[in-house]
Amino acid sequence: MSHVQGRARRARAALAAVLTWTGLLLTGAVGCTSDGAIGGAFGPPAPEEVIRVAPADGSKEVRPGDMLRVRASEGRLESVEVVRSQDARESPVPGRISADGRSWKPDDERLALAAKYTVDTVARDDAGRRSSRRTTFTTYVPEERFIGYVTPEHRTVVGTGMIVSLAFNREIVHRAAVERAVRVTSRPAVDVRPHWFGKDRLDFRPETYWRPGTEVTVELDLRDVEGAPGVYGLQHRTFSFTVGRSQVSVVDAGRHTMKVSRDGEELATVPITAGAPKTPTYNGKMVISEMLEVTRMNGATVGFTDADGKGEYDIPDVPHAIRLTASGTFLHGNYWAEKDIFGDTNVSHGCVGLHDVKGGGADTPAGWFFDRSLIGDVVEVVNSKDTTVAPDNGLGGWNMGWREWTQGSAVK
């Protein structure tokens, strides 16, 4: 081969190599590296790289202490929409995007239990490219729940001595958390304070009796509040009641009379019989909590039994029965005692008796008082030979001073 021919062959080989390299670049046959330096590396990042959501997509049994958060790893969040599905109902979860646009959090930090959350997010990265992402998660379904039974009943008209009382069906260990989830307000506004009696009862009252005409609202935000380890609240409800006229009745056990006053003026003074010397009536302020046209009273249910274990009395048709304590103190009609007992002698087992007739008479002292009473009215007993009724016996909280009452809060 001549020198000229060798040079020509080398030139053709070089040209072929250049053409081959150019063709590879044009057809994309050269692969890109892991850092995206060549070819398809300049495409947008995956949505999950731009938008970070906690709890993670598909999470189950998410606990209430976990936080719902949305974050943009680069760029800014444009919109975040969260929907909670619970009890076959859907509701939006309000929240807000931070000032720098990098994060979002809900207004209420507490996650609902037994719920499914759906999070829809749109973000724009630093290069101006938009990404959207949808994630879902479900929260823990508790096996044990608690509720609170509210006194008085919703939309009732009550006396000025009414105390708001919540009786829980489970013992409450985390009392401060439960107390914070209950709100009692009034119009006109007055300072209303809570007091715990044991681990299953929470009462609320103002310093003095309610003003007539006051509208009281009780808000229970107990849903998903942990009242005890593993036991969560079930209620999210609002109750309300109206305070009617003021009626306070003073039973003087020593004089065997009851003075009934309405709005500061005396209506009447009626003769009564109170507890006998061996079974005296409690002293102190008691609030009417129940009114029964007729009821049965058996001594065995309150500890009054004879040698055979039978009740010392069993009256199937006690008329005009007004409950004053949880332990069984009533103010009621009495048709079995002689009429001249009333106003003269104390013969009862601790109740306050007013003259009545069998079946209950409208024009008897017992019928007259029953027709003029409301749940929430105050009956105060004085000059009895017994002790003062305990503040947790019925709605007896008015027998506790305001300072001691306010110290019964679990929120310090």
Question: Binning pLDDT at 50, 70 and 90, where does residue 26 land?
Answer: very low
CATH of the domain at 205: 2.60.40.3710
The answer to whether residue 211 sits within a structural domain is yes
Confidence at residue 13, expressed as pLDDT on a 0 to 100 scale: 46
Tell me, yes or no, whether 287 and 376 share the same domain.
yes
Q: pTM of the entire structure?
A: 0.81
Tell me, yes or no, whether 268 and 356 share the same domain.
yes
Name the active-site residue from 195, 332, 349, 355: 332
Confidence at residue 42, expressed as pLDDT on a 0 to 100 scale: 58
For all residues of the chain together, what is the average pLDDT?
90
The answer to whether residue 239 sits within a structural domain is yes
Q: Is 80 exceeded by the pLDDT of residue 189? A: yes
Instruction: Work out the average pLDDT over 324-342.
Output: 97
Tell me, yes or no, whether 166 and 295 share the same domain.
no
Tell me, yes or no, whether 387 and 255 share the same domain.
yes
CATH of the domain at 260: 2.40.440.10
Confidence at residue 34, expressed as pLDDT on a 0 to 100 scale: 35
Tell me, yes or no, whether 135 and 214 share the same domain.
no
Q: Is 90 exceeded by the pLDDT of residue 32? A: no
Q: Judge whether 258 and 269 are in contact, CB under 8 Å.
A: yes
Confidence at residue 299, expressed as pLDDT on a 0 to 100 scale: 78
Confidence at residue 309, expressed as pLDDT on a 0 to 100 scale: 76
Annotate the chain with three-state secondary structure.
CCHHHHHHHHHHHHHHHHHHHHHHHHHCCCCCCCCCCCHHHHCCCCHHHHEEEECCCCEEEECCCCCCEEEECCCEEEEEEEEEEECCEEEECCEEECCCCCEEEECCCCCCCCCEEEEEEEEECCCCCEEEEEEEEEECCCCEEECEEEECCCCEEECCCCCEEEEECCCCCCHHHHHHCEEEEEECCCCEEEEECCCCEEEEEECCCCCCCCEEEEEEECCCCEEECCEEECCEEEEEEEECCCEEEEEECCCCEEEEEECCEEEEEEECECECCCCCCCEEEEECCEEEEEEEEEHHHHCCECCCCCECCEEEEEEEEEECCCCCCEEEEECCCCHHHCCCCCCECCCEEEECCCCCCCCCHHHHHHHCCCCCCEEEEECCCCCECCCCCCCCHHHCCHHHHHCCCCCC
The answer to whether residue 115 sits within a structural domain is yes
Instruction: Work out the average pLDDT over 127-151.
Output: 96
Confidence at residue 50, expressed as pLDDT on a 0 to 100 scale: 92
Tell me, yes or no, whether 294 and 389 share the same domain.
yes
Of 244, 273, 302, the one marking the end of a domain is: 244
The answer to whether residue 31 sits within a structural domain is no
Q: Which domain holds residue 278?
A: 247-396
Instruction: Work out the average pLDDT over 92-118.
Output: 96
Pick the range with the lowest mean pLDDT from 89-103, 181-195, 287-301, 377-391.
Answer: 287-301
Name the active-site residue from 195, 256, 351, 355: 351
Q: Is 60 exceeded by the pLDDT of residue 17? A: no
Confidence at residue 313, expressed as pLDDT on a 0 to 100 scale: 79
CA distance 304 to 282: 16
Q: Is 50 exceeded by the pLDDT of residue 18? A: no
CATH of the domain at 119: 2.60.40.3780
Q: Is 50 exceeded by the pLDDT of residue 2? A: no
Q: Percent of the chain at pLDDT above 70?
A: 90
Confidence at residue 303, expressed as pLDDT on a 0 to 100 scale: 80
Tell me, yes or no, whether 240 and 259 share the same domain.
no
- The tally of domains found in the chain comes to 3
Tell me, yes or no, whether 276 and 260 share the same domain.
yes
Annotated catalytic residue 351: yes
Tell me, yes or no, whether 149 and 225 share the same domain.
yes
The answer to whether residue 17 sits within a structural domain is no
Confidence at residue 260, expressed as pLDDT on a 0 to 100 scale: 98
Instruction: Work out the average pLDDT over 371-384.
Output: 98
Q: Is 80 exceeded by the pLDDT of residue 291? A: yes
Of 139, 173, 201, the one marking the end of a domain is: 139
The answer to whether residue 401 sits within a structural domain is no
The answer to whether residue 402 sits within a structural domain is no
Q: Is 50 exceeded by the pLDDT of residue 20? A: no
The answer to whether residue 403 sits within a structural domain is no
Tell me, yes or no, whether 340 and 254 share the same domain.
yes
Tell me, yes or no, whether 174 and 252 share the same domain.
no
Tell me, yes or no, whether 272 and 368 share the same domain.
yes
pLDDT tens-digit map of 203-237: 999 999 999 999 999 999 999 999 999 999 999 99
Of 194, 209, 244, the one marking the end of a domain is: 244
Annotated catalytic residue 349: no
Query: Between 128 and 1, where is the model more confident?
Result: 128
Question: Binning pLDDT at 50, 70 and 90, where does residue 45 land?
Answer: confident
